[in-house]
Amino acid sequence: MSARGILFVHAHPDDETVSTGSTLAHYAARPDVHVTVVTCTLGEEGEIRVPHLAQLAADQADQLGGYRYWEYRNAVAALGVTDTHFLGGVGRWRDSGMMGLPANGHPRAFWGADVDEAAADLVAVLRDRRPDVLVTYDPDGFYGHPDHIQAHRVAMRAADLAADPGHGAGEAHDVRKIYWTTIPRAVIKAQFAAFAGASDNPFAGAASVDDLPFGSPDHEIDACITAGPRAAEQKRAAMAAHATQIAPGDWLDLLGDKLGDDAAAAEYYRLVKGERGPGEGPHGWESDLLA
């Protein structure tokens, strides 16, 4: 029996780890599953959390993208992932920065990419790997980052085009299930409380959880991957590999200490195409994206 496949589309190096690291480690460890990670940019506009590397920044040497490429290679290795692809080739599209910044207008900014052009490369990957499942962000890119929004648009367009026998070269492939990453509002509430008053509070500026523009109520979530201690350990190692973005003592680094490794490693998804598999637990959520 040939391996089943699951393909993830992410915007920047480190997104694969922060959003779906436990899930990647879980499926990469299964011999019956082929895991592919597609990344759209090198993350050139990222904030640098390591002082002695500050001059790599976009407004100085502009070398952060190359550095993050190697962080990414080490991170996916820690997760056990061996099949990776940069959309259009390494460096084809550039990190656009946060919404409304001058970086959005860079000639190679992913935010300004022609969706069909960017999707054409992903169509070729989908037809070559032939995954059963595609994972990406929701239409708001989970939290509104332009590259996450664009990754969503490109992934969804590519899924449509890949299934069209009349489009392009190669044998058409219809992805069976598509998921968008999310997080329960109840989990956000627990994180909000855990980091209240902390020096590295990721929710600083929000008076309450209701002010945060992301997350889903329990009834809108379809799957939760709780991959166990080994995957949690791999996710921590992968986060450590992304040293310019996640420094020791950052909130992401402390999440397991504050809420427990099980809570930090759990990852949640909304099913937007395909048939939902058997559910488990009090909410009836899927525990296998391939079910």
Chain segment 128-140, per-residue pLDDT in tens: 999 999 999 999 9
Confidence of residue 151 (pLDDT cuts 50, 70, 90): very high
Chain segment 234-249, per-residue pLDDT in tens: 999 999 999 999 877 7
* Max CA separation in the chain (angstroms): 57
Looking at per-residue confidence, does 44 or 212 come out higher?
44
Residues 6 or more apart whose CB falls under 8 angstroms from that of 128 comprise 170
Rounded to whole angstroms, how far apart are CA atoms 162 and 172?
Answer: 6
Over the chain, what is the mean pLDDT? 91
Q: How high is the pLDDT of residue 208?
A: 66
| CATH assignment, 4-286 | 3.40.50.10320
pLDDT for residue 251 is more than 70: no
